[in-house]
Structure 1
Amino acid sequence: MKKTLLCLFSVIGISSFAQEHFSGINTSRRGGLLNADINPAELANMSSKYDVNVFNFSGNFANNKVAFGDFIDGGDDFENILFSGNENVNMRVDVEILGPALAFQVNKWAFAISSSAKVQASLVDINTTLGNAVTNGGVDNITEVYNILASENQRAAGISWGEIGLSIARELYDSEEHKISAGITFNLLFPGTYANMGASRFEGTITNNFGDVSLTDASAEVNIAYSGSLAGDFSESDNFTEFFAGGLNGFSTDIGVNYRWKDKSNFTLTKNSNDEDDNENNTLTFQYSDPRNYKLNAGLAIRNMGSMTFKDDNNESVNYELDVPTGEFLDLNQFEDAESIQDVEDILLQSGYLTMDEAAKDFKVKLPTVFSAYADVKLYGKFYATGFVQQKLNENNDNDQITVQNIVSVTPRYSTNFFEVYAPLANNEISGFTAGLGVRLGGFFIGSGSGISMLLDSDSKQADLYFGFRFGI
């Protein structure tokens, strides 16, 4: 089981770390496909007729127990730190790759086609005593009895999938000062691989007798589901890269609206004259509106409304009842070397304490539906500030749910048409406060939502990195 949980950090081998993907750059004045990723209505605000995405990458990690300094001081003690204390463990590893994409404008309309690949592994509300016993084959004291009562669903889950997005946006109202737009994206979903192990309404007693750890007087509702390569090994990072393996088997929708208060600029034309007496009407002043200039740019969106169906040959989704009677004992040490969800399932079934309730060959997994709102305000000259809120609309504890965090962030920025530097400041549901830094040069950008806090605060529990390149024509 130790290797099973360490899959979360095997994923880090193909990523870096973060929370809000592309934090700060996704509300850039430059506009385009990245902005449309959080609100499809932003396509109507593109600063060029065509926007081409070459490659964007964002890797995210956050948890509520292990600080960045712990990785430096004692990586071998990771599991002991993770399952210390009384607070339930919550952890996310999240990777998003935005591949080739094209957006273009036609009069008041804007259209886009995009591609992306996504990976996620998570621990949700894991009881520390239970997690320590199953993962490490031990608990704090060499002889002790621990009573556990956990009504929430404890989950260990991993998933990968691919998306192809078809977007359309349109100006609804456009005057000299104000502009309102709306947009929608239809995502074609390609499930890759999936694994979930959940235990809800857990009650039981864990005993530790000089390292022999066992469970007795226990009951729980257990869900075990898997599809594709994650069924066989949960600890190999390569098993998370089957983004489009399951074919087209799902759909989702993003919808959004955008309001823009334009900021007009003056353009002065001077008339050349050799007549010294002709000193009147030598200048003409025009007002024009650059789509990258505004006093306020604000939007509302609901994203990821949909689900996908896993249909691999090795599919399984089974609900079990776990019942270990008083006086009988389930040996927890035997889970320590389990490498897959199937290994855990086999051990439980062989114990005789697991009874099948219901089973399904194919199963659906819901995307993490979120409501988001943002406002980018011009403060003075080239200085702006963005407020962003993300609120999840589903519960992370559900066995068929991809997880997501609630986020509130403020991003001050200095922005010209070619250069931009910004510092996202955020409060994240799991990892708490983070501070980052990012920079854009033309179409290239690189940044982090937590780079500053990670470097300055050894107790920071989040780290991230993103970068990419796109260009306009």
Structure 2
Amino acid sequence: MRNLLIFALLASITASAQQHFAGIGTSSRGGIMSGLLNPAELANNPSKYDVFIFAPSIVASNNKLGIGDLIGGDNLEEKLFSGSETVNLRIDGEIVGPGFAYKHDKWTFALMTKAYARLDLVDVDPNIGDAIVNGGLNSLVSTTTLNNDYNQRLTGTSWGEVGISVARNLYDDQQHSFGAGVTLKILFPGSYANFGARDFNGTIVYAAGDVELTDASASVNIAYSGNLGESFSQFGDYTGSLFGKPNGFAADLGVNYRWKDEEEGRYKLNAGLAIRNLGGMTFSDTNNASTNYELNIPATESLNLNQFQDIESLQEVEEILLASGYLNRTENNATDFKVQLPATFVGYADVKIIQGFYATIFTQQKIKENNENDQIAVENVTSLTPRYLLNRNIEFYVPLSVNEISGFSAGFGFRAYGFFIGSSSAFTALSSNAKQADVYLGYGFRI
């Protein structure tokens, strides 16, 4: 378990907000990147052909450690599990692969590809983390009582998708246009691992270098598939299985309104609403397992938590708990199990302030809570992005975001023709207290 968390912390150093491609999705250029945010935006594509090549994005955010802590590298695990606030940590990679859009009259058709890799800690009790990873270094007393009524999760996921999009202008005149679009996605599950502990109650006892758990109970889910069943403490555990076999479907639905600006040939207002990632995928592999257990440790007995410090997989966790005799199977799921995508509601409005200057208001809100064991986690984000258009091909923008995990961040982005590069935390990441870092770039062109 220690190795898994060290990997998460080190990855946070190299990852450079939880909203991928902040600012470029609502760029006036539109095209494939805007279509990924809202499929209705494809109807606004001014060119007959739009070709997208490649765009990677990586995100790291947490609610405990600042950039200064990560760069210093001292006592990271001790700091992460200090205090009483539950620990939330996300490391999220996304790659937009080749894509193509074709416009014919009022219709636009597109083919888009993406791949994902994620590691999440969701609402982890710092006392449990401190006991397992640090041997109780943060504890000032000999015993700690646990009384949690929520589900704590450690989960990793990788998958790919191929989306087919259709968008159409339903109404279009010299001043206004209204469009709608849909993207149907074929999902390619790669690997998955989840450890969930719901209603975790008990007592942690610290004595003579040992950390014991006694008088404890919890509902436990242990699930794994593919590479992440054997280990998810290394970068290659994720990249080695981004695309599995097709085994799932999802959909994005969206609408768009545009108030045109005849003077500049752009718009005074471009607004949209979308529901994204409606659906899920089924993991199927020779080492698949998804089992529900009840953990029960009597008050007269105890489980030594020191034995979890150097493990690298959930299979090892499961084996240790089963060997202890305190873990009892309550439900053995089928070898194939389904995981839901992180469904979100998206709303935005890009408003012309004066000639060349625009401002985008954006919100992303999760539809389902992150504490369910079969749910890929996602965060709520709200942002304001001022942007300056030097001309049709050059623009600069400054995303100002609030993330429910890491708080406020400020970044910078730049687009020249079809090339773009940016970060929603380029400025705040310079502060030692910043809890979020990200970076992205990409390229596409029109014919």
TM range (shorter): over 0.9
Instruction: Provide the C-alpha distance between the structure 2 equivalents of 1:348 and 1:4, rounded to a whole number of angstroms.
Output: 18
CA–CA separation in structure 1 for the residues paired with 2:139 and 2:11: 32
Whether the aligned pair in 1 keeps the contact of 2:117 and 2:242 (CA below 8 Å) is no
Structure 2 partner of 1:195? 193
Structure 1 position 345 matched with structure 2 position 344 = no
Amino acid of the structure 1 residue aligned with 2:40: A
CA distance in 2, matches of 1:424, 1:366: 29
| 1:400-439 matched pairs, under 5 angstroms | 400-415=374-389, 416-439=391-414
Q: Which residue of 1 aligns with 2:269?
A: 296
Tell me the distance in 1 between the aligned counterparts of 2:435 and 2:29.
31
Matching residue within 431, 438, 445 for 2:420: 445
Question: Which amino acid in the other structure matches residue 4 of structure 2?
Answer: T
Secondary structure of the residue aligned to 1:57 is: strand
Please point out which of 375, 378, 381 is paired with 2:355. Answer: 381
Q: Which residue of 2 aligns with 1:277?
A: none
Query: How many correspondences in the alignment?
Result: 445
Task: After superposition, give the CA deviation of every residue in 1:97-135 in whole Å (9 maximum; x if it has no partner).
Answer: 001100110000000001111011000000000111112
Q: Could you tell me which residue of structure 1 aligns to residue 235 of structure 2?
A: 237
Q: Is the 8 A contact 1:10 1:236 kept in 2?
A: no
**CA contact 2:345–2:364 (8 Å) conserved in 1:** yes
SS at match of 2:227: helix
**Where does residue 123 of structure 2 map in the other structure?**
125
Gaps of 5+ in 1: 266-288
SS in 2 for 1:47: coil
Query: Equivalences for 1:40-439 in 2 at 5 Å?
Result: 40-73=39-72, 75-141=73-139, 144-265=142-263, 290=265, 293-360=266-333, 361-415=335-389, 416-439=391-414
The 1-side partners of 2:51 and 2:207 are apart by: 62
Matched residues, percent identical?
A: 53
Separation in structure 2 between the aligned mates of residue 52 and residue 158 of structure 1, nearest angstrom: 32
**Offset of residue 148 of structure 1:** 0.6
Once the 2 structures are TM-superposed, how far is the Cα of residue 143 of structure 1 from its aligned partner? Answer: 5.6
- Provide the C-alpha distance between the structure 2 equivalents of 1:10 and 1:239, rounded to a whole number of angstroms: 15
d(CA) in 2 for partners of 1:434, 1:244 = 29
* 1:31 partnered with 2:30: yes
Give the distance between the partners of 1:249 and 1:226, measured in 2 at CA. 16
What code does the residue aligned with 1:321 have?
E
Structure 2 CA distance, aligned partners of 1:244 and 1:65?
29
RMSD: 1.3
In the alignment, the residues of structure 2 paired with residue 141 and residue 303 of structure 1 have an alpha-carbon distance, to the nearest angstrom, of: 43
Q: Please state how far the C-alpha of 1:6 moved relative to its aligned partner.
A: 2.8
Matched residue SS, 2:142: strand
Contact 2:116 2:242 in 1 (8 A): no
Aligned to 1:470: 444
**Cα 1:135–1:149, aligned 2, differ >3 Å: closer, same or farther?**
same
Give 1:86 shift: 0.4
Larger radius of gyration, structure 1 or 2? 1
CA distance in 2, matches of 1:339, 1:435: 35
Equivalent residue number for residue 2 of structure 2 = 2
Contact 1:117 1:243 in 2 (8 A): no
Distance between the aligned counterparts of 1:193 and 1:363, measured in 2? 12
Unmatched runs of 5 consecutive residues or more in structure 2? none
1:409, distance to aligned residue in structure 2 (A):
0.2
Deviation, structure 1 residue 245? 4.6
CA contact (8 A) 1:61 1:462 kept: yes
Aligned equivalents of 1:470, 1:397: Cα separation in 2: 37
Cα displacement (A) at 1:159? 0.4
Decide whether the 8 Å contact of 1:246 with 1:311 is kept in 2.
no
Using the size of structure 2 for normalisation, the TM-score is 0.97
